[in-house]
Structure 1
């Protein structure tokens, strides 16, 4: 299937990580010009190099999402050197495991700025151009915790939930401009983040990582952790011309993990 997005420009936040890197590569396979942004320039460059090795176009950018005053300059560079952003993939890192109670205000504020406010302000920066061109995709990757809150991920559950309300509201505001806004949430995808969370749980509960992983896998109907490429391909479809009637939605890529309807 031709997804109809060849030569579009995509900005993928967190593109040096497991999920972001997979998203960037899936988009590149469709002929999209991808800007890989990450706090680690080394990680962003590694993803960009993998894409370029396949003959596709990719650029690496070091980007600290907490630096809100740098958004305009970062987007300006992309517009001048690659093209206007047609596809924005908001994929931010997760906060450390914490209970919901007893956390310092500064910790909440730090992660709110990096996970929520940065996404809102960046999206606001690229929306006028999308409206002018009559086409755009805003895809925000969150967590299964927005549907079924995950124990000991209090900050993540709360802040990512705010992005769901924001994205749904945005979808109604920009739908007639040819722009879609959707949430994508991963279940347990085999990335370094999942390994970290399994290790943290094992330490907290005095169990082996292997035992925690086996128990987690047993709770997934398909019987395994997801492949990052499966997640990336789902995002690429939502970014496509074929998905023009999907907006305001929350798409689960979880192997059936989340029990609720």
Structure 2
């Protein structure tokens, strides 16, 4: 889901490179067509669906297409563009409702549409791409701070219900990666601080123990692992991938 750019795109490449036939979706036709062409180079079947996962119709369109073109969904990767930045007092009720549909309900609907068949077949892999805000709130990202932890709770709860049927569900909580979303947020914060973007980024990287932002391909590799048989005993977890920025004792 939401595979036309950033972390979703990297996840799609990792799965296609691991031999999966794949359905990808996105809202922008040109970007979606570009990604589909790239994925076809791996040799598998690629199904590209224009859809907005923040809507029930969009999620339904993606899952139905995967069932018709690929015969079903064995691996589900839920993903959605992050909700807009903003402080609590600056957010409208409409923005709260939109973020709820995009960030939480897109995954709820995708799980509802795919888990019954996975349970019947005795096999399934679900990977939810979330945010490090699951573990620590991020400045001026109130909507993400509210709904990403809800995703983690959902993953932990549902994983216990379906584990006996050979279905695993895990969440990846990425920190700062080199994506358009992170750059947009950094540019916003740089303007607020009155500094140049590159100066702001250097300061941000210096606070990360690894000394850099993550590469989307690194997250894609983790998605591919969680989707594999090697990860069959790993479920119900939220995996923080942030170069050591968030200090936590698990």
TM over 0.5: yes
The alpha-carbon deviation at position 54 of structure 1 amounts to 3.3
Which residue among 119, 122, 127 is the counterpart of 1:131? Answer: 119
Q: Which residue of 1 aligns with 2:95?
A: 107
Cα distance in 1 between the residues matched to 2:55 and 2:123: 28
User: What is the CA deviation profile of residues 196-245 of structure 1, one whole-angstrom value per residue up to 9, with x for unaligned ones?
Assistant: 11101011111110111001111111111111100100111011111000
Segments of structure 2 that go 5 or more residues without pairing to the other structure are none
Residue 53 of structure 1: aligned partner: 41
Partner of 1:34: 22
CA drift of 1:175 comes to 0.6
Partner deviation per Cα, 1:160-219 (whole Å, 9 max, x = no partner): 111111111001111111101111011111111111111010111111101110011111
Tell me the distance in 2 between the aligned counterparts of 1:25 and 1:82.
17
Q: Distance in 1 between matches of 2:135 and 2:126?
A: 20
Describe the SS at the equivalent of 1:185: strand
Q: How far apart, CA to CA, are the structure 2 residues paired with 1:141 and 1:246?
A: 16
CA distance in 2, matches of 1:149, 1:93: 18
Q: Is 2:70 the counterpart of 1:91?
A: no
> Corresponding residue for 2:57?
69
| 1:77 Cα deviation after fit | 2.1
Instruction: Please give the secondary structure, in 2, of the residue aligned with 1:183.
Output: strand
Per the TM alignment, residue 73 of structure 1 is displaced from its structure 2 partner at its CA by 4.1
Moved over 4 A (4+): none
Q: TM-score, normalised by structure 2?
A: 0.96
Do 2:23 and 2:62's aligned partners in 1 also have CA atoms closer than 8 Å? Answer: no
TM-score by length of 1: 0.92
CA contact (8 A) 1:41 1:60 kept: no
The 5 A counterparts of 1:95-244 are: 95-244=83-232
Partner of 1:4: none
Contact 2:225–2:231 (8 Å) recurs in 1:
yes
For residues 154 and 85 of structure 1, the distance between their equivalents in structure 2, rounded to whole angstroms, comes to 33
Whether the 8 Å contact between 2:47 and 2:69 is mirrored in structure 1 is: no
Are the aligned partners of 2:128 and 2:170 in contact in 1 as well (CA < 8 Å)? yes
- Measured on the aligned residues, the alpha-carbon RMSD in Å equals 1.3
Cα separation, 1, equivalents of 2:162 and 2:2: 25
CA positional deviation for 1:72: 3.3
1:101 partner SS? helix
Q: Residues of 2 paired with 1:190 and 1:56: CA distance?
A: 27
Matched, 1:256 2:228: no
Counterpart of 1:247 in structure 2 is 235
